[in-house]
Chains A and B, each alone.
Chain A
Amino acid sequence: MSEHIVSSYDEQLDLINSTLIKMGGLVETQLHNSLVALGDKDTAFAEEIIRDDNKIDALEKEIDALTYKVIAMRQPLANDLRTVLSALSIANDLERMGDHATNIAKRVANVKINMPDTPVSEIVNMGENVQSMIKNVLDAFVQKSDKLAITAWDLDVNIDELYLSIYRDLLKTMAEDPDTITGCSHLLSIAKNIERIGDYVQNIAEDIHFITTGDALERKSEKRIKWEKV
């Protein structure tokens, strides 16, 4: 795509882009760190992670300000308009993702919780899957690739399956050993947080599709969570 005649316009769009990528990177790190803290049951680390959430929020505010400025100054049209409006939406999604990752750390930081090991490792595994989803979608954003976006979108179905199986296992564990109920409840919430992160990644994939094609993504997943099987 050729450059704008007014080069400062391109500079502004590039800045929005790079800030989003930076924010995405921070979110990736946040999730990764939370999973590590969970696996190691490291409460001190968890406290650090909670503080790091501020950085993500700050970047969202930055992106808000940048997009308002571009809209007011440049009156963008066509693909520029789609890019700028989607940037707002993606930043919002990333911020929510960051919050969910932080919530994991918040639960880990609570020293008194005793979380059983097996479910924890399953959850960490699910988390790692989501991590790769995030990486895919960020790559899709950087390369403005519709294909990569759709690939990332499709991965969510695995997350849903994992969530279902973790849910089952935790219920079984709680039923067998009532002492684990507190810990497992927290783990249920943590699993939910991770599943929500996956949904937000899907949103971002849809935004990327809109930016590149100008259409909304009409796609059905092949499978859906069969709650009745629980």
Chain B
Amino acid sequence: MKSIKIKADNLNVYYGEKQALFEVSMYMEEKQVTALIGPSGCGKSTFIRCLNRMNDVIDICKVQGKIEIDGNDIYAPDMQVEQLRERVGMVFQKPNPFPKSIFENVAYGPRIHGIAEHKSDLEEIVVTSLKKAALFDEVKDRLSDSGTSLSGGQQQRLCIARAISVNPDIILMDEPCSALDPIATARIEELMGDLKTEYTIIIVTHSMQQAARVSSRTGFFHLGKLVEVDKTEAIFSNPSDQRTQDYITGRFG
């Protein structure tokens, strides 16, 4: 059994008057891929955005409850949110590289966090990150080209490289493949298999098959509640809750 990296305890999230998450408690294991599935509006994106406090950006969002990473409450008043996001990276649904060069995209994070001072250190980090994101070979001759000149799948891998450039422990992925074609999707799934040896990965996905392929544990959300969370094989061959079974077999959703 791997050790616990992230623990959510009785999490309640409100957007103004409307409650989006109800008493969500779950843990996520270190250096494993945990998938979050559920129909639209079930709260899985809200949940994952709590893990790196991206919900802070939304004024009317209130978070109650505890989320601990390595035993530290990330909503504690003395937690610096920029430092949190250095340890918890995020990849979004629609690839969003900066409108700068490929090099700059990856170098930006290390630079602002003071990880690398000299140009040579930055170069090393950029090359390593691009290699880890399985993108280096395709772009090594054109690092000064704009990040937006790449194809959709390459842009997403660039965003992954950007996320790992600051050496996080955890990578959050919010439907990373939904805007990509099947081959680009397959490449990213392959990449996840390599990345999970170094990073803890949480992925929100609409595709049941993807969750079954990449994750070791899966959580099913419905109407803001965490209905069931278990080993992936159990969820997809014999789930305990009828709602889970109905959702994954396409009987509602």
Q: Which residues of A contact B (CB under 8 A)?
A: 1-6, 9, 75-82, 214
Flag if B249 contacts A79 (CB, 8 Å).
yes
Select which of B236, B245, B248, B250 is within 8 A of A5 by beta carbon: B250
Flag if A2 contacts B237 (CB, 8 Å).
no
Residues of chain B in range 205-253 having any CB-CB distance to chain A below 8 Å: 208-209, 212, 236-239, 245-246, 248-253
Q: Cα distance A81–B238 when bound, in Å?
A: 10
- What are 22 A-B interface contacts by the 8 Å CB criterion? A4-B249, A4-B251, A5-B250, A5-B252, A5-B253, A9-B250, A75-B208, A75-B209, A77-B212, A77-B236, A77-B237, A77-B248, A77-B249, A78-B238, A78-B248, A79-B249, A80-B249, A81-B237, A82-B237, A82-B238, A214-B237, A214-B238
Flag if B236 contacts A78 (CB, 8 Å).
yes
Q: Cα distance A1–B237 when bound, in Å?
A: 17
Q: Which residues of B contact A (CB under 8 A)?
A: 208-209, 212, 236-239, 245-246, 248-253
Flag if A78 contacts B237 (CB, 8 Å).
yes
**Which residue from chain A places its CB closest to the CB of B251 in the assembled complex?**
A2
**Which residue from chain A places its CB closest to the CB of B249 in the assembled complex?**
A80
Query: How far does the Cβ of B124 sit from chain A's closest Cβ, in whole Å?
Result: 43
Decide: A2 near B236, CB < 8 A? Known: A75-B209, A77-B208, A77-B212: no
Going nearest first, the 3 A-B pairs with the smallest beta carbon separation are: A214-B238, A2-B251, A77-B248
**Which residue from chain B places its CB closest to the CB of A215 in the assembled complex?**
B238
Flag if A78 contacts B249 (CB, 8 Å).
yes
Flag if B237 contacts A4 (CB, 8 Å).
no
Q: Cα distance A105–B183 when bound, in Å?
A: 56
- Set of chain A residues within 8 Å of B212, measured between Cβ atoms: 77
Query: How far does the Cβ of B247 sit from chain A's closest Cβ, in whole Å?
Result: 10
**Which residue from chain B places its CB closest to the CB of A78 in the assembled complex?**
B245
- Set of chain A residues within 8 Å of B239, measured between Cβ atoms: 78
- Set of chain B residues within 8 Å of A79, measured between Cβ atoms: 238, 245, 249
**Which residue from chain A places its CB closest to the CB of B239 in the assembled complex?**
A78
**Which residue from chain B places its CB closest to the CB of A81 in the assembled complex?**
B237
- Set of chain A residues within 8 Å of B237, measured between Cβ atoms: 77-78, 81-82, 214
Flag if A76 contacts B238 (CB, 8 Å).
no
Flag if A4 contacts B248 (CB, 8 Å).
no
Flag if A2 contacts B238 (CB, 8 Å).
no
Query: How far does the Cβ of A80 sit from chain B's closest Cβ, in whole Å?
Result: 5
Q: Cα distance A6–B251 when bound, in Å?
A: 8
- Set of chain A residues within 8 Å of B246, measured between Cβ atoms: 2
Flag if A6 contacts B250 (CB, 8 Å).
yes
Q: Cα distance A79–B249 when bound, in Å?
A: 8
Query: How far does the Cβ of B116 sit from chain A's closest Cβ, in whole Å?
Result: 45
Query: How far does the Cβ of A95 sit from chain B's closest Cβ, in whole Å?
Result: 26
Q: Cα distance A154–B61 when bound, in Å?
A: 60
Decide: A4 near B250, CB < 8 A? Known: A75-B209, A214-B238: yes
Query: How far does the Cβ of B233 sit from chain A's closest Cβ, in whole Å?
Result: 11
Flag if A5 contacts B251 (CB, 8 Å).
yes
Q: Cα distance A53–B190 when bound, in Å?
A: 49
**Which residue from chain A places its CB closest to the CB of B246 in the assembled complex?**
A2
Q: Cα distance A167–B121 when bound, in Å?
A: 86
Query: How far does the Cβ of A221 sit from chain B's closest Cβ, in whole Å?
Result: 26
Among A1, A6, A78: residue with most chain B CB under 10 A = A78
Q: Cα distance A50–B246 when bound, in Å?
A: 45
Q: Cα distance A3–B252 when bound, in Å?
A: 8
Q: Cα distance A80–B251 when bound, in Å?
A: 11
